Amino acid sequence: MAEVLVYVDHVDGAVRKPTLELLTLARRIGEPVAVALGPGAADTAAALAEHGAVKVLTHDAAEYADYLVVPKVDALQAAYEAVSPAAVLVPSSAEGKEIAARLAVRIGSGIITDAVDLEAGDEGPVATQSAFAASFTTKSRISKGTPVITVKPNSAAVEAAPAAGAVEALAVSFSDKATGTKVTGRTPRESTGRPELTEAAIVVSGGRGVNGAENFSIIEALADSLGAAVGASRAAVDAGWYPHTNQVGQTGKSVSPQLYIASGISGAIQHRAGMQTSKTIVAVNKDAEAPIFDLVDYGVVGDLFEVVPQLTEEINTRKG
Amino acid sequence: MSLRIVVTVKYVPDATGDRHFADDLTVDRDDVDGLLSELDEYAVEQALQIADEADDAEITVLTVGPEDAKDALRKALSMGADKAIHVEDDDLHGTDIIGTSLVLAKAIEKAGYDLVISGMASTDGTAGVVPALLAERLGVPQVTLLSEVSVEDGVVKGRRDGDTASEQLEASLPAVVSVTDQSGEARYPSFKGIMAAKKKPVQSWDLEDLEIETDEVGLEGSWTKVDSATERPARTAGTIVKDEGEGGKQLAEFLAGQKFI
Ligand SMILES: Cc1cc2nc3c(=O)[nH]c(=O)nc-3n(C[C@H](O)[C@H](O)[C@H](O)COP(=O)(O)OP(=O)(O)OC[C@H]3O[C@@H](n4cnc5c(N)ncnc54)[C@H](O)[C@@H]3O)c2cc1C
Ligand SMILES: Nc1ncnc2c1ncn2[C@@H]1O[C@H](COP(=O)(O)O)[C@@H](O)[C@H]1O
């Protein structure tokens, strides 16, 4: 069976969920061979094997942390040359997309970014994408070279599928361009203890209607009652009420949870672009004409300062 | 010596319009009004600020697109860019990202550059990979997705806010930079700027000028193929209630019914 290269997104050996989803998709088109780079690369093997990786190619070097993107492209290219895969799959993070794109040009292949589904097809893998703020769905494939495809989080279920996961050292020689962009400082993001926005099953978001940084505690309390991640509209982020890392929408994160609860958010097209594919959508807004109500499965026209705390209390009571 | 800045700007269909695909499954650029991608205004803004700080700088805005894409160039010129290049050729219709990056890279090389500044993503395609592709093709450092950028003594520095960390980056010129919408509000063109823009030079180049063969670009030369595009069915109308004091409880009841509680 043809091998499929899967680029592993991990933090010090802890594999992030989108990579496990990628393994599910990779198994539809071939045998997954994972590529893990940087500190803790070899520690990823157990989780990857459990989800279907037949092989795990690993390599660590200071360059991965000290220089931007290019060392990783060099390594993925080395893996590509060693394996001659039928396809290369990369998680659709900002960095993942850049790595994938540069690899595609180097190996003379087309690229598809931000796929939300992937199937085997007669002429190579067929990728589903969302276009125009998710108002269209397209199906595409790559017509030249080895398909290079980046896939968004939450595009497939994580499935256990134990495989050998044999660890092999990847031989990498860095190109002279690898050290072009120096990383001179790095401040890790502090964990909030809440689920990762793009990976969460439930997202609770607040917008301009929340009316102040201090009021976001109302949104957070609801999120915590549901074990949810917290999101924000750009208006709330621009006002400085919530960090940009939590922004949902075209220029923030795009989320596709089981449940999305929008409070004090009007539902502008750029916001919808990042949440329209959520399975169930709920909104609280005092304006009955707000466009967000066109999307909802359930909407409450009312003041979020009344409705949201009552909802949170009711959830906490029901949970006992 | 003068700092030569090339800003890549895309002409896109208005996101608030009824965007859709044409019969050949390319983005329909005729039916919906177009404009300079808002995300590229941030690139123009940072170019203007960098030019202000430099002793001597010249900003060229560059677009690859149809006839109407000139509107995007005019807007960038009215914000304060010095000159413009429009790459226009009937054979470009349907070009994919890989092809677009080829055309842009050839045009940037022909124009001459020390610094390329792009937006974080186009608002129609939203791939966000053209800047990385330009760096790959031009063989210069990529300093992308910056929320803060500065240039001094031939070195570009910036901050990249990533998923797990915020990074400080540094590279020597020439380099390709892209900036996010966190980099600072873009200015509005002044009346004076709009008048001045009318007199600024706009050069037109075609594929021949860039020594690109027609089979390297366009729908036929594209390395990806779109097989279908379907409009997402409208969401079925949901239940909407007015809060009469029990709205939160009603919502909880709904969520319980859906097994979220
Ligand atoms: C290029 C570009 C990219 C963009 N990217 C993004 C993006 O990634 N994400 C994003 O979100 N936006 C984005 N935007 C901005 C977007 O167009 C909207 O401006 C933004 O989403 C509005 O945020 P909002 O809904 O919170 O604010 P508003 O549109 O002001 O809506 C606030 C809502 O709160 C309601 N409200 C007020 N008080 C209460 C109350 N007490 N109780 C209940 N409801 C109340 C109001 O009725 C109103 O509907 C982008 C714009 C551009 C041009
Ligand atoms: N046709 C084009 N003409 C000029 N610049 C472009 C074009 N397409 C993309 N770009 C630039 O590349 C950036 C990222 O675009 P994309 O990768 O298509 O999302 C944009 O913000 C522009 O700066």
pLDDT at A190: 85
Domain ranges of chain B: 3-210
- Is B243 near chain A, with CB under 8 Å? yes
Give, in order, the Cα–Cα distances in Å from A26 to each of A2, A90, B140: 11, 10, 33
- State the pTM of this model: 0.96
Mutate to test the interface with A, among B136, B159, B176, B178 (most CBs of A within 10 A): B136
Closest CA to B212 of B137, B102, B116: B102
> Does A236 contact ligand 1 (Cβ within 6 A)?
yes
Q: Please determine, for residue A285, whether its predicted confidence score (pLDDT) is greater than 90.
A: yes
Averaged over A199-228, what is the pLDDT?
A: 97
| Residue B1 confidence (pLDDT) | 65
CA distance B47 to B52: 8
Nearest-angstrom CA–CA distance, B217 and B231: 27
**How many CA atoms are closer than 13 Å to the CA of B62, on its beta-carbon side?**
29
**If you measure CA to CA, which chain B residue comes closest to A202?**
B260
Measure in Å the smallest separation between the Cα of B141 and chain A Cα atoms. 5
In the predicted model, what is the mean pLDDT of residues A234-263?
Answer: 96
User: Which atom number of ligand 1 is nearest to the Cα of residue A290?
Assistant: 49
pLDDT at B225: 94
CA distance A237 to A270: 14
Contacts of B196 (CB under 8 A, 6+ apart): B77, B78
Ligand nearest to the CA of B131: 2
pLDDT given for residue B208 in this prediction: 98
**Would you say residue A311 has pLDDT above 80?**
yes
Helix (H, G, I), strand (E, B) or coil at B101: helix
A174 CB within 6 A, ligand 1: no
Half-sphere exposure of B59 (CA within 13 A, CB side): 27
Residue of A nearest to B165 (CA): A188
User: A264 in helix, strand or coil?
Assistant: coil
Instruction: Give the CA distances from residue B87 to residues A311, B70, B205, in Å, rounded to whole numbers and listed in that order.
Output: 56, 10, 5
Query: What pLDDT score does B74 carry?
Result: 98
Strands (E) located in A23-154:
31-37, 55-59, 87-91, 111-119, 126-131, 136-142, 148-151
Query: B residues 183-222 near A, CB within 8 Å?
Result: 222
What pLDDT score was predicted for residue B236? 85
Nearest to A158 by CA among A206, A214, A201: A201
Which distant-in-sequence residues (6+ apart) come within 8 Å of B122 by Cβ?
B10, B12, B37, B39, B40, B130
Res. A173: pLDDT tops 70: yes
* A44-48 average pLDDT score: 98
Q: Report phi then psi at A95, rounded to 5.
A: -70, -40
CB B121 within 8 A of CB B128: yes
Measured between its terminal Cα atoms, the distance across chain B in Å is 66
**CA B165–ligand 2 middle distance (angstroms):** 25
Partner residue facing A189 (CB), from B133, B165, B171: B165
Rounded-to-integer distance, Cα B132 and Cα B155, Å: 18
Touching check for B144 and chain A: CB below 8 Å? yes
Is pLDDT of A254 > 80? Answer: yes
Contacts of B254 in chain A (CB under 8 A): 282, 297-298
Our mutation pick for probing the ligand 2 site, out of B8, B71, B97, B102, counting the most ligand atoms within 8 A of Cβ, is: B8
Average pLDDT over residues A242-259: 95
Residue B4 identity (one-letter amino acid): R
Q: Using 50, 70 and 90 to split pLDDT, how confident is the model at A133?
A: confident
- Give the bridge partners for A187, in sequence order: B166
Which atom of ligand 1 is least distant from the CA of A305? 41
CATH number 3.10.129.10 is the correct assignment for the domain at B3-210: no
Q: Measured between CB atoms, which of B101, B128, B252 is closest to A314?
A: B252
- A320 contacts: CB under 8 Å, gap ≥ 6: none
Which ligand has the shortest distance to the CA of A205? 1
Pocket test for ligand 2, best of B10, B101, B217 (most atoms within 8 A of CB): B10
Tens digit of each residue's pLDDT (9 = 90 or more) over A79-113 = 999 999 999 999 999 999 999 999 999 999 999 99
The tokens describing B245, both together, are: 């004091």
Q: How far is the CA of B3 from the centre of ligand 1 (A)?
A: 39
Which residues contact residue A282 at a Cβ distance below 8 angstroms, ignoring those fewer than 6 apart? A259, A260, A261, A262, A296, A297, A298, A299, B251, B254, B255
**What is the C-alpha separation between A131 and B124, in angstroms, rounded?**
8
Here the tokens at position B132 are 């990385």
Q: CA B133, B36, B51 angle in degrees (round to 5)?
A: 70
Per-10-residue mean pLDDT of chain B, 261 residues long, equals 94 90 88 93 98 95 96 98 98 95 98 98 92 98 98 97 92 98 96 97 98 95 94 89 97 97 92
pLDDT at position B237: 85
pLDDT on residue A18: 95
Cβ atoms of A137 and A131 closer than 8 Å: yes
> CA-nearest residue of chain B to A269?
B16
